[in-house]
Amino acid sequence: MIYLQVAVPKTLFNLYTYKSDFPVPTGCRVNISFGRTSIIGVVMGTSESPPLDCPLEKLKPISGVIDEKPYWNDQTLELIKFIARYQHAGIGAIIDLAQPVALRKGAPATPRPVTAYRLADPSFTPANKQQQDLITALRNQPLTPQEIRGLNLSQSALTTLLRKGAAERIDLSTAERDIYADLTFTGKLTLNPEQQEALEAIRGSMDQFQVFLLEGVTGSGKTEVYMQAIEEVLRRRKQALVMIPEIGLTPQNIARFHHRFNVPMAAMHSALTDRERLDSYLGCRDGRIGILIGTRSSVFTPFTDLGIIIVDEEHDPSYKQQDTCRYNARDLAVYKGKLAGCPVILGSATPSLESLQNAASGRYRHLHLSSRACVNAGAVETEIIDLKGLELNSGICAHLLEEMKEELSKGNQVLVFLNRRGYASQVICSSCGHVLQCCNCDSYLTFHKYNGTLNCHHCEAVTPMPQTCPACGAQTLVIQGNGTEQVEEYLQQALPGYPTIRFDRDTMNSPGKLRDALEGVLNNHYRILIGTQILAKGHHFPNVTLIALLNIDGALFSNDFRATERLAQLYTQVAGRTGREEKSGRVVLQTYAPANIVLQTIVTDGYGIFAENCMAERRYLDLPPFSHQILLRIEGTERERVHSSSHEIYQRLQKARESFPDVEISPPYQALMEKKQGKYHMLIMIQALNRTSLRKVLPAIDSFLEDRKNSGGTSCYIDVDPTEILQ
Ligand code: ADP
Ligand code: ZN
């Protein structure tokens, strides 16, 4: 009899022992009965001796085996165990995350058949030039129908060769194929000295683990360095993983890599179907894909022989998963690189303080690109408008409008950035003062004019805009606060004749729309761009000469110690969208606090000095990256229960802390939005200078984490290295 330790989706902590008459390798999926249901688990370990803690007659046999050979390699299993340890989470929760939905549901871990043609008779004598060309091409590689079309080879020559038995049809997904056979390096640029130095450093660490922090202003040619590093990896017949933030993933981005290398590539992101994701996943695992480009979840993809990991815009908040298991894909990428024994490049114009600190302490190697790569890039200047005493129209002052008008009249484009979508951020009754609120959340409802609805941006609730005040019945509802929709409407009236385009989650709800919009911007069809975060990332707008940030004061006065870091990153990134190519650019900030010291530092001295100051402050206050944090989120539908559970958890932690006095534990505090999506939220912050003692207090609450079924629907979630500490 063989005893299998099986990870069961969703359950916490434990592996469960099942028995089997025959060996099942580690890393295979098995069907098991669990409680009253039948589910799919993954074998994490096997042994021939029975477990000591469970009576043998209670052990159930597995009901079936899904995979004959392991579908996870050892590195993937190691990564999963690491996350579970690091996040103090159950392996079951991690295996849910780490595999595409299709595999979770039990789909076979085998690729879809791919038709291709290969040469069957190498001695065949071609009858004409077309047949000759086709034979020459097939001599290197089997080719798919698309590839045959792409190479302009003759379809009728193919038909003839097939009929005469000179070529044959095969299934490429199972065929041996050398994906590196047709590598090209088209369009490679001559590097400037700094790029060259960075590349040499990375090249010197091929086939070994080393993390590089590649810090370079927008347009300094980081992508070119990535590409030349990848070239080296592909020459060594290894694979590359390129991670990019959620919104940066555009078809152009992928095409850029594809043109250069001509190696099979795949993408991994949320807009793909389950089947497409599975194909990408298996393609990488089985060595049929040379480069994977993906968002945070791509870090879980197994590879045959990974040669480099690149994390572009490493500071971007979207690398941190903000629900269930709150892993940080950037940090996992570093561990994945360690397991694979390959270099990891973290690239950014505005590195996170965590990464800067890792560079300062020598854990990461710091590489710099200090100037823009294209010789004729223009300069960027910043103007701060003091809003005190000024009248605003839809959040825009007359002076800014004039400046926009001037740039537009010169044939340039302007970009207006506002991180708030919708038309108006509040609806208020002018008779009774009632503000319309979400019934599931402690939040105000946003008015969306295009469809006449009220929306909650926290739980996605949508209701029609009422005619009368729900509190007093008067027909005196007025709107307040402006979002991107209103700004667009205002600019259409105030600057007629200049087509506008809005980039936010309402307008850009598919990759196709984003692609079309970006195209319309590049060919100068749109002249005024209005948008949220989507506009701050990765896109190249050569004709934009003025960028306005309408509302930055919230970040200056936030209680979150990371708010100024984010503002500095946002400002620097947005400023990087302008002043490319020949034209010089201008950034205009509207604020009520023009003398604010942080704002002045960011604008006058730049991100580097800001980061130094901010680092000194964090060191003084023992904040991350100089200390480590774990945030506990206690949530449930009954407010009283959530509060009492929070206090119970706090008591237990306090007790555990007696042995680890260097750990600080905050009493439970309410989340900024205490009620969200119908649940109440309390937070407990655990902090220590030393990561090891920090983790040692956690077992004190294990029993609570495991009992949560019994704790009246209250759950406690652990967020290690939280990036959102107020909610
Ligand atoms: P980043 O990724 O740092 O924002 P990119 O790699 O996109 O910068 O480069 C910005 C622009 O500079 C691109 O148009 C790119 O083609 C160009 N560029 C990069 N490196 C060089 C180089 N060595 N010589 C000339 N142009 C370059
Ligand atoms: Zn809501």
Q: pLDDT at position 332, please?
A: 97
Structure tokens at 533: 């975060």
Q: pLDDT at position 148, please?
A: 86
- Each residue of 98-147: pLDDT tens digit? 888 888 888 888 888 888 898 999 889 999 999 999 998 888 778 888 88
The C-alpha angle with vertex 619 and arms to 614 and 622, in degrees rounded to 5, equals 120
| Residues β-bridged to residue 33 | 38
- Each residue of 575-628: pLDDT tens digit? 877 765 667 789 999 999 999 999 999 999 999 999 999 999 999 999 999 999
Reported as a pLDDT band with limits 50, 70 and 90, residue 330 is very high
- Each residue of 180-214: pLDDT tens digit? 988 888 889 999 999 999 999 999 999 999 999 99
CA quadruple 36, 41, 44, 45: dihedral positive or negative?
positive
Structure tokens at 228: 């030349």
Among the atoms of ligand 1, which is closest to the Cα of residue 190?
A: 23
CA–centroid distance, residue 541 to ligand 1 (Å): 14
Tokens 């008591």 belong to residue: 651
- Each residue of 10-38: pLDDT tens digit? 766 678 999 999 999 999 999 999 888 99
Q: Which residues contact 629 (CB under 8 A, 6 or more apart)?
A: 685, 686, 687, 694, 721, 722, 725
Over the chain, what is the mean pLDDT?
90
Residue 533: which of 498, 555, 504, 496 has the closest Cα?
504
- Each residue of 415-435: pLDDT tens digit? 999 989 999 999 999 999 999
Q: Average pLDDT for residues 261-272, to the nearest whole number?
A: 87
Q: pLDDT at position 530, please?
A: 96
Q: Out of 67-71, 391-395, 444-448, pick the least confident.
A: 67-71
Q: pLDDT at position 712, please?
A: 67
CA–centroid distance, residue 448 to ligand 1 (Å): 39
Answer yes or no: is the C-beta of 104 below 6 A from any ligand 1 atom.
no
Reported as a pLDDT band with limits 50, 70 and 90, residue 707 is low
Answer yes or no: is the C-beta of 216 below 6 A from any ligand 1 atom.
yes
Q: What percent of the chain has pLDDT over 70?
A: 96
Among the atoms of ligand 1, which is closest to the Cα of residue 224?
A: 6
Answer yes or no: is the C-beta of 256 below 6 A from any ligand 1 atom.
no
**DSSP characters over 445-480:** PEEETTTTEEE-TTT--EEEPPSS-TTT--S-EEEE
